[in-house]
Chain A
């Protein structure tokens, strides 16, 4: 039986309560009759033989690229860059796509006699990965072969000795990249394309860039003109990255792009109820829901976080593309849309979101309030093509505990951003006045380079990610959040969904339309 496409449910009196993620827990909410609930398409069929599919892609690349073996020679300098721990979410079961791809690239390099091979984790300004995280992504064999010899590196956007300025785009944007990658004879970039935003020229132009380069597109103005940043052709974020990517190519950097897509098989069997539509829950699903919710509710926050962050997703590979960047990405985007796109008619007054425990920037960490905002208003709000799911002036209601809590090792500058910047202004265009001080703060730079801290400027980027939503919306309400933290974000706290709906109707008027994005599993609304 072929997998069912995404579905838009019209809530009626017989509709059972709808499951909302609520951080490290869940809530069942009874939505008003007439509301719509968007469900993700069921997982599309995975590739039967991922290893063979990868080999096929490397040998028969897209665009004007030559097959990978033809690009490899004995005396060359080869760099293989790969996406970091922010993808996919939750982390997938071993073997990770990146391991499968890199193993084959290395096999081909070995066959060609290439000796000078370096792996680089494309961190951009994200935190450095731990050994366990690298082993998970690459597998023990690759890790043990490269890391002890210093050949497994993590991109350091603050290492002046290992950055190279390639020039300015015709829009005056600096393009400054990892020197090893940019001066290699061949740069192979291995992606996990979890959502439509990932990949393309953004892989190298962002993942291996410095702050000097990133600031040109990671800002409020760019994000306000990315509608959405999940839709490459309407995204200023991508337009800027594409300009940079073309300059990178014109500078002589030869990139062999490999992109992989996943299905929506997001949760392991014991949590499969999270992927099912509530009215189709079996007795076993209901029992699993009750047992999981009750257990998480009774578990201390820290332990609940550890348990959930240990979840490994059974994601399966649905496609692999290799070759010239733009040709590869066009095909990848088709495959992402094939899995995630759900046709939706018309916008809504109120969009509700249940926010889970994880986002790209808190893997094995705490979902602090800034990340809550970013996940809801940055990622989920932007999971649209065409028009936003919620109308201009509408309201987003998010469900999340939003604790006033931060991981001091991972997010040190977030603490200061929350205390200093957001206490003064929550306007994404206004927070930028503090950006340079944070970006150049020597303590943050030190922690980014030597510890496991996100770069000092990173909380600004999270806030810029919200810029389009904040400009578009008439209000944001968080249900069940720490009231002080929610207020610091500039949002309105509500105790219950009913309260939130009452508050929202003050903004959007009586009898509003409501749409709930039942995600994850991830879906992207194609709004007509």
Chain B
């Protein structure tokens, strides 16, 4: 059955990097490491495993980075080739090895391949604590290396008619109230939920969010619903992104160039050497570029916190201000479980609530069949410029919701 496959091919990665650097993100799909091919359905690895037929699978910024040849080499040992991409997946259970979820159950996939899916017992400290995003064993166990489904050669991924396999602990039944578009937004929203909670926002804090793509908008929604910022300011490049940010709870949505000035006004700060004397209590960087991190450092207050949610690669940065102003720079990757007082909740459960409350299915801008993957990837790479947010593949088109583009 047809699937999109990424193979380890240095020439193809090099070509992708060159083309995308000239033409922009997503423009190298035809030349890069991705190709449409026939694959066999992945085998069920063992007890607890299910076969899932994807309905919708999103194109994530991390997917684009891979296809553009821009991914950090850090990931080389925690992925395994060839792999089928696609980790933002809503699908239907087709079979399970034992008495698991009933066939036909609509599920979203929590793609992180932690200790339990890998059959590692006892689990690492992070997995034992419910923080699967921090799993220390993503390259080990009975599966090939792969930090997530969609980067592992054994599990398959969402961009496939052949389906994927996932462990029971990775599957979350989707309430009927959520549409497929809502459901495919649960995984990115879970990242946003984790980031919003990792940001440690105190009531009344000024929070600035850099970026108006999927990560920026879902993070805005999560911050509005899960924290009580005194002011939530968003810097988004495109008008539709700013409009959405406002609808999702931003007090002010401006261009990234204007964001630092907006933060300065609110904090009544001075400026010195391009940095604010005061600034935002928390800056959430949903872009992950050298410029965005530098801007975040310029507008966070001394002893404030910069949360890096957008996936960065190799950056060149001047960290003098971080040192001098004692700023905390923290990463926020994936999800697992979140502590709230004495209780813990699965991040995906919280994300479902955020998606439902904020109607985040509206962020799905276009659906493409796998066969049109070059157009889909190009659309995703230029989503902001083309007035879109989230681009998804649709594996089994159904009548009620045609392509939204």
Contacts from A to B (Cβ < 8 Å): 415-416, 419-420, 437, 441-443, 446
Contact = CB atoms under 8 A, between A and B. Distances in A.
B265 A437 contact: yes
Given A442-B270, A443-B271, A446-B270, A420 B262 contact: yes
Contact of A419 (B262, B268, B269, B271): B262
Given A419-B254, A419-B262, 10 more contacts: A415-B261, A419-B261, A420-B262, A420-B265, A437-B265, A441-B268, A443-B264, A443-B268, A443-B269, A443-B270
Nearest to B258: A419
A513 to B, nearest CB: 39
20 contacts: A415-B261, A416-B261, A416-B265, A419-B254, A419-B258, A419-B261, A419-B262, A420-B262, A420-B265, A437-B265, A441-B265, A441-B268, A442-B268, A442-B270, A443-B264, A443-B268, A443-B269, A443-B270, A443-B271, A446-B270
Interface in B158-204: none
Contacts of B269: 443
Nearest to B257: A419
B161 to A, nearest CB: 46
Interface of B: 254, 258, 261-262, 264-265, 268-271
A459 to B, nearest CB: 13
A452 to B, nearest CB: 16
A362 B270 CA distance: 24
Contacts, number: 20
Main secondary structure of the interface of A (DSSP, over half): helix
Contacts of B271: 443
A147 B365 CA distance: 65
Nearest to B262: A420
Contacts of A443: 264, 268-271
A421 to B, nearest CB: 10
Nearest to B277: A443
A410 to B, nearest CB: 16
A441 B264 CA distance: 10
B30 to A, nearest CB: 36
A441 B265 CA distance: 8
A460 B109 CA distance: 54
Contacts of B258: 419
Contacts of A420: 262, 265
A415 B261 CA distance: 9
A441 B266 CA distance: 10
Contacts of B270: 442-443, 446
Contacts of A446: 270
A420 B254 CA distance: 9
A295 to B, nearest CB: 33
A335 to B, nearest CB: 45
B192 to A, nearest CB: 27
A442 B271 CA distance: 11
Contacts of B254: 419
Contacts of B261: 415-416, 419
A443 B270 CA distance: 5
Contacts of A419: 254, 258, 261-262
B300 to A, nearest CB: 17
A178 B72 CA distance: 62
Nearest to A442: B268
A419 B266 CA distance: 14
Contacts of A416: 261, 265
A321 B272 CA distance: 48
Contacts of B262: 419-420
A406 to B, nearest CB: 11
Nearest to B265: A416
B340 to A, nearest CB: 36
Nearest to B261: A416
A185 B269 CA distance: 41
Contacts of B265: 416, 420, 437, 441
Nearest to B271: A443
A451 B84 CA distance: 59
B262 to A, nearest CB: 7
A509 B268 CA distance: 48
Nearest to A423: B254
Contacts of B264: 443
A419 B252 CA distance: 11
A416 B270 CA distance: 14
Contacts of A415: 261
B255 to A, nearest CB: 9
B254 to A, nearest CB: 7
B396 to A, nearest CB: 44
A85 B261 CA distance: 29
Contacts of A437: 265
A324 B261 CA distance: 47
B251 to A, nearest CB: 12
Nearest to B267: A443
A379 B264 CA distance: 32
